[in-house]
Structure 1
C-alpha cells in the first residue's frame, strides 16, 4: 500500500480500497426533522469544502465528455446525538482546534448568509444552541470529538 505524497491518502492497490488518515464527519441533533437534517448537512459540508481545498477531489466527466463539479475526495460520515452530545462535541472540537462548521437552531429562522452569520455572532460560544456540527481532521481526533454519537440511521 502506498501513500500519495502530501495527501494523507493510502492509495492501495489497483484492486484494493483507498484509505484515508483523515475523516469528514457531520454530527446532527437527533430531534431534527428529516428536512432539517438534510438542510443542515448540506450547509455544514459546504463550509468545509470551501475552506479546505485539500478535501476536494478532481472534476468528474461521464463517457460522453460532459463535465461535472468536483466533490469531496473521501466519504462524509453522518452521525446523530442528543443535545448534550452536540454540546460536548462542540466544546471538544474547539479545544482541539480542528476545522469545523456550525449550524445553530437560530439559522432555521433566517434566509440568507448575512443573517445566518449575524445570528451566530449574537450568541456567546457557550450559549449556542448547536443542532449540527461538521468537522475535518485526523481520524483519531475526529473520533474523539464525536465521542457518544452514533452513526445516522
Structure 2
C-alpha cells in the first residue's frame, strides 16, 4: 500500500460514541468570546483525557498535521443559572470539567488565569463556559435545559 493512501472507512454508517464531548456557553457572550472560550475549554479536555485524541493527520502529499479529537464536540448555550446548575451536576458526577470565568477576559496569561479562578469559591464562580466529557447519558443529564448553539 502506498504510504500516502489511507484505508477506506470500514463502514458507511456514522459512528455512535459511548461518550460525549460538550461545551456549554453562556448565551450572552459576544461571538469572539464564544470562539475564544470554546477553544480554551476544549484544550483542557484533550490534556486531561488523552484517549480523546486521535491519530495525526496527513494529506495526500504526506504533509503531516496535528491530531484532533476522535469524536465531535457539541456546543450548547444557556443562561448563567443553567451554567451554575450544569457545573454542580458535572462535579457531582465526577466528570472531567474545564471552566472559563468572566474574570479570564481581563487576564492575559495562564498564571493570571489560574490565580483568578483560585481566588473565587466554587459556588461563586462567574461561569461563562464549561467543557466536559463523559458517558453520553451523564453528559445529557448535566446539560439538561441547554440548547444547541445556533
**In which range does the TM-score fall when normalised by the shorter chain?**
over 0.9
Q: Which residue of 1 aligns with 2:92?
A: 95
Q: Which of 25, 41, 53 is 1:56 aligned to?
A: 53
Give the TM-score taking structure 1 as reference length: 0.91
Structure 1 consecutive aligned stretches of length 4 or more whose deviation exceeds 2 Å: none
Indicate yes or no: 2:147 matched with 1:130.
no
Residue 13 of structure 1 and its aligned partner are, at CA, apart by 5.1
Q: TM-score, normalization: structure 2?
A: 0.93
Q: What's the C-alpha RMSD, in Å, of the aligned pairs?
A: 1.0
Residue of structure 1 in register with 2:41 after alignment: 44
Partner of 2:62: 65
Q: Which runs of 5+ in 1 are unaligned?
A: 1-11
Paired residue secondary structure (1:97): coil
Superimposed CA distance per residue, residues 11-69 of structure 1 (whole angstroms, 9 cap, x where no aligned partner): x9522111100000000000000000000000000000011111000100000000000
Does structure 1 residue 74 correspond to structure 2 residue 67? no
